[in-house]
């Protein structure tokens, strides 16, 4: 087949969790070498999005900003957010993937949040900071995140971001079914 091409993936973050999740998911889905191009871009939304809509908008804004910065085969952004549901507050991530012609959105699993954490978020604190204070950790958002802490490491930000990415990439894996 000749030389294997390298898939260039622009990740709208310098966070190692997001870069690792994207790299592993794209490698699994496309079975080729992946080159991650980090893009430190602003979300254009609150530091701690407090609704699904705001979280989705942040992911979209990051992808669009990355397109202006670099040339890539795919652009991906993850935005962590919080919303309140019938059974209480939950955190999740929304991701946006673009191949320059199609935008696909995905979402991670949802993690229930203790009400004491949610109240801190309502008062302007970011989830990572609130979790660091509660569990006496440092910069947990670039490690296992609240997910790792509240599941005792059974799941992590990387594991759920990777899973959500693979699911969203199904749209590109079977593009003919969606046209």
Domains (range + CATH), the chain? 7-110+154-178 (3.90.950.10)
Backbone φ, ψ for residue 123 (5° rounding): -90, 15
- In this predicted structure, what is the pLDDT of residue 147? 86
- The mean pLDDT of 20-30, rounded to a whole number, is 97
pTM to 2 decimals?
0.91
What confidence score (pLDDT) does residue 2 get? 46
Average pLDDT, the chain: 92
Q: Tell me the pLDDT tens digit for each residue of 48-99.
A: 999 999 999 999 999 999 999 999 999 999 999 999 999 999 999 999 999 9
Q: Vertex 155, ends 149 and 161: CA angle to 5°?
A: 110
Q: Does the pLDDT of residue 34 top 90, yes or no?
A: yes
């Amino acid at each position: 087949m000749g030389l294997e091409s390298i898939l260039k993936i622009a990740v709208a973050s310098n966070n190692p969790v997001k870069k690792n999740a994207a790299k592993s998911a794209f490698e699994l889905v496309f079975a080729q070498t992946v080159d991650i191009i980090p893009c430190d871009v602003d979300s254009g939304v609150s530091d701690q999005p407090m609704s699904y809509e705001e979280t989705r908008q942040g992911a979209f804004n990051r992808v669009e900003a990355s397109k202006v910065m670099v040339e890539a085969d795919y652009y991906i952004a993850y935005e962590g957010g919080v919303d309140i549901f019938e059974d209480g507050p939950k955190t999740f991530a929304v991701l946006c993937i673009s191949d320059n012609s199609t935008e696909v959105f995905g979402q991670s699993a949802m993690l229930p949040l203790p009400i004491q954490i949610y109240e801190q978020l309502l008062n302007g604190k970011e989830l990572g900071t609130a979790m660091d204070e509660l569990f006496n950790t440092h910069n947990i958002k670039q490690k296992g995140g609240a997910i790792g802490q509240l599941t005792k490491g059974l799941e992590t930000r990387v594991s759920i971001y990777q899973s959500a990415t693979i699911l969203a990439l199904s749209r590109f894996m079977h593009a003919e079914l969606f046209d």
